[in-house]
Amino acid sequence: MAATDLERFSNEEKRSLSLGGHVGFDSLPDQLVSKSVTQGFSFNILCVGETGIGKSTLMNTLFNTTFETEEASHYESAVRLRPRTYDLQESNVHLKLTIVDAVGFGDQINKDERPIVEYIDTQFENYLQEELKIRRSLFNYHDTRIHVCLYFITPTGHSLKSLDLVTMKKLDSKVNIIPIIAKADTISKSELHKFKIKIMSELVSNGVQIYQFPTDDEAVAEINSVMNAHLPFAVVGSTEEVKVGNKLVRARQYPWGVVQVENESHCDFVKLREMLIRVNMEDLREQTHTRHYELYRRCKLEEMGFKDTDPDSQPFSLQETYETKRKEFLGELQRKEEEMRQMFVNKVKETEAELKEKERELHEKFEHLKRIHQEEKRKVEEKRRELEEEMNMFNRRKVAVETLQSHSLQATSQQPLKKDKDKKN
């Protein structure tokens, strides 16, 4: 086909045709449903809120079961993310539910939201790595990307804490945030109304984007737009059952009355369950993939040097990018190598100079000691000579004295003889 024919063909309007009889592709939606049901679904909830705010209780109440829980200590050294995955089944639908607790968040010691952001990014990164593999297995890949973040607000009745605003701001481009006022039974109805308005105005004035229930699908547009006006939901959680009339209902019992979890005039629990699980679970999953993950993927790929078009608006070449990145990398490697070599040479030079200096010092020390030694030796020699002289003198004197003594002895022994001779004569 010539190029002009191709152009004309692709520019042509699509024509609608009517079918002569039943063909069968109207079963496509059913095929899709059946495939999804076989495959099962995964849904990942991140619970962020201070220790003891009621996260575990609300999860148990929402899914009407008892998940494993262990109370967090108020003295964690840092915020730690604790994911737990459960297989749930309702009718023939399997749900792989992961609940991630941000343990230690909002406590006195460490209020940092960074571990939460890192956790969310790591899940995106894992998915991206799977997508980039040559042999991908996205079909049975356990998707751990966070679909919704339930942000538990402390029911102070006052205003949001700066920690809440900072954290939500950091998270809003990465995850669908649904803010909820926890333990709403601890705040009066009029205070709650004012608190809700205050929270929403604070979120707006700080530019925090929370998840909006979608209104583009006609089937749910009305309920979703009504529910959007009720945000943040004020919830009460309880796994206790209390008899009201002749029915057992989940509630919290107080000396002055009973707060029923599923009574819409008592709290917004039912609204939350309706919006989170029954109406918008699929939209939350979709938004995670098409908005938040897409943003992460785009930034990450751009960071890696990928582009849709090159600077001349020509389609982007993977080979060229790879080559450019490779060259950049090799250049960087060479530069680092040269830097390290230079550093090594400098170090060797420095050490050499240090050694030389040490050698010179030692030599000087040696010479000094040698001089001292020679001086000492000379002094000892002198002393020895003096002593020897003294000894010689002494010996000479001794000999002289001895001679003198022997002479005088001889003289005295000869004198009596002479006397005797004289007498005889």
Contact residues: ligand GTP, CB under 6 A: 51-57, 71-72, 183, 185-186, 236-237, 252
Tokens of 374: 């020679």
List CB contacts of 85: < 8 A, sequence separation 6 or more: 96, 97, 98, 142
Q: Which does 174 bind (CB under 5 to 8 A by kind): ligand GTP, Mg ion, none?
A: none
Nearest residue (CB) to Mg ion, 69 versus 206: 69
Q: Which does 159 bind (CB under 5 to 8 A by kind): Mg ion, ligand GTP, none?
A: none
List CB contacts of 121: < 8 A, sequence separation 6 or more: 174, 296
Q: Which does 183 bind (CB under 5 to 8 A by kind): Mg ion, ligand GTP, none?
A: ligand GTP
Nearest residue (CB) to ligand GTP, 183 versus 292: 183
In the complex, the smallest distance separating the C-beta of residue 330 from Mg ion, rounded to whole angstroms, is 51
In the complex, the smallest distance separating the C-beta of residue 192 from Mg ion, rounded to whole angstroms, is 23
Query: Can you tell me the distance from the alpha carbon of 329 to that of 174, in angstroms, rounded to the nearest whole number?
Result: 30
Nearest residue (CB) to ligand GTP, 172 versus 268: 268
Give residues 16-75 in contact with Mg ion (rule: CB under 5 A): 55-56, 69
In the complex, the smallest distance separating the C-beta of residue 71 from ligand GTP, rounded to whole angstroms, is 4
In the complex, the smallest distance separating the C-beta of residue 201 from ligand GTP, rounded to whole angstroms, is 24
In the complex, the smallest distance separating the C-beta of residue 202 from ligand GTP, rounded to whole angstroms, is 22
Contact 258, 270 (CB under 8 A): no
Nearest residue (CB) to ligand GTP, 127 versus 233: 233
At residue 63, what are phi and psi to the nearest 5 degrees? -100, 5
Q: Which does 185 bind (CB under 5 to 8 A by kind): ligand GTP, Mg ion, none?
A: ligand GTP
Q: Which does 160 bind (CB under 5 to 8 A by kind): Mg ion, ligand GTP, none?
A: none
The residue type found at 374 is Q
Number of neighbours of residue 266 by Cβ within 10 angstroms: 20
Nearest residue (CB) to Mg ion, 195 versus 269: 269
Q: In degrees, to the nearest 5, what angle opens at C-alpha 23 toward C-alphas 18 and 25?
A: 100
Nearest residue (CB) to ligand GTP, 51 versus 144: 51
In the complex, the smallest distance separating the C-beta of residue 37 from ligand GTP, rounded to whole angstroms, is 32
Nearest residue (CB) to ligand GTP, 30 versus 71: 71
Contact 184, 192 (CB under 8 A): yes
Would you list the DSSP string of 288-344? IIIIIIHHHHHHHHHHTT--SB-TTSPBPPHHHHHHHHHHHHHHHHHHHHHHHHHHH
Nearest residue (CB) to ligand GTP, 154 versus 212: 154
Q: Which does 61 bind (CB under 5 to 8 A by kind): ligand GTP, Mg ion, none?
A: none
At residue 183, what are phi and psi to the nearest 5 degrees? 45, 50
Q: Which does 57 bind (CB under 5 to 8 A by kind): ligand GTP, Mg ion, none?
A: ligand GTP
Would you list the DSSP string of 129-150? HHHHSSS--GGG-------EEE
Query: Can you tell me the distance from the alpha carbon of 372 to that of 402, in angstroms, rounded to the nearest whole number?
Result: 45
In the complex, the smallest distance separating the C-beta of residue 110 from ligand GTP, rounded to whole angstroms, is 14
Name the site residues for Mg ion (rule: CB under 5 A).
Answer: 55-56, 69
